[in-house]
Structure 1
Amino acid sequence: MTDLATLYQTDYSVWVQHTVELLRARRFDELDIEHLLEELSDMSKSEQRELESRLLVLIAHLLKWQYQYQTLSERWREFDGRSWRATIIEQRKRLTLLLRNSPGLKAIFIETMTAVYADAIELVCDETGLPATTFPINCPYTAEQLLDKTYYPN
């Protein structure tokens, strides 16, 4: 194991600083390529997990808005969906920032949206007690609607 690889195991922060210095100096033959590739791969996975998480919460709240809001507002006069609206606004903002900072995620947005939809239904069912059959089999929202600040389902 090289000294840099050992440093990765013992002092990650110093390893990062040293790796940056080597890259800036174009001393590529001294890099700890194995761990550098691992870190770059983990960065990508982290961004993908954030995209999944944000879409899951956003879709779940839009489903609650569409399928439960009317019932709750009729039962409880004081229910106005304010907390749901706040969550929808925050998730849209965070998604917009994530896509701006990591534009490569746009290529997997629809695929990720489709992949998390079943989890969103499960979350809504757990939170509301509504049966899964209440919801469409496929995500009823387009990518544009998910990111549209003015879009709220009927």
Structure 2
Amino acid sequence: LDRENLAEEIESLGRRDKREIRSRMEVLLAHLLKWEFQPGHRSHSWQSSISEQRIWIGNIIKDSPSLRRYPAQIFDHAYEHAVLVAVRETGLGKSHFPGEPP
């Protein structure tokens, strides 16, 4: 048993899961912002994406319970990134979106 390689692999899996949670949170928050601030553009694809991101985040946490606090730890950063995505995708100015999460 190569403990060093095993430890590296476990750490690598944790980093991968964290990246996945962060990415999915950013997509989720961006779509929630677009949903809230562009009601005339709401679509089934946004609704589907919102649901899918929530499910994926929940499944990752269910599979790796040690990460259950991770979304709260990165929420502010994920929200900041989501605002930038929403600005780019909607063409609305950054000031159109709340500086703090609603």
TM-score, normalisation: structure 2: 0.90
Kindly report which structure 2 residues correspond to 1:102-117, keeping only aligned pairs within 5 A, or say none.
102-117=64-79
In the alignment, the residues of structure 2 paired with residue 37 and residue 48 of structure 1 have an alpha-carbon distance, to the nearest angstrom, of 17
CA RMSD of aligned residues (A): 1.4
Quote the Cα distance in structure 2 between the aligned partners of 1:103 and 1:32: 25
Given candidates 51, 55, 58, the residue that maps to 2:28 is 58
Structure 1 or 2: larger helix share? 2
Structure 1: gaps spanning 5 or more residues: 1-30, 73-79, 141-154
Same amino acid, percent of matched pairs:
36
User: In structure 1, what is the equivalent of residue 82 of structure 2?
Assistant: 120
Distance 1:97 1:37 in 2: 23
Letter in 2 for 1:102: S
Runs (4+) of structure 1 exceeding 6 A deviation are none
Bigger Cα Rg: 1
Q: 2:68 is paired with a residue of what secondary structure?
A: helix
State the match for 1:93 in structure 2: 55
Mapped partners of 2:69, 2:51: distance in 1:
23
Q: Point out which structure has higher relative CO (alpha carbons under 8 A, 6+ apart).
A: 2
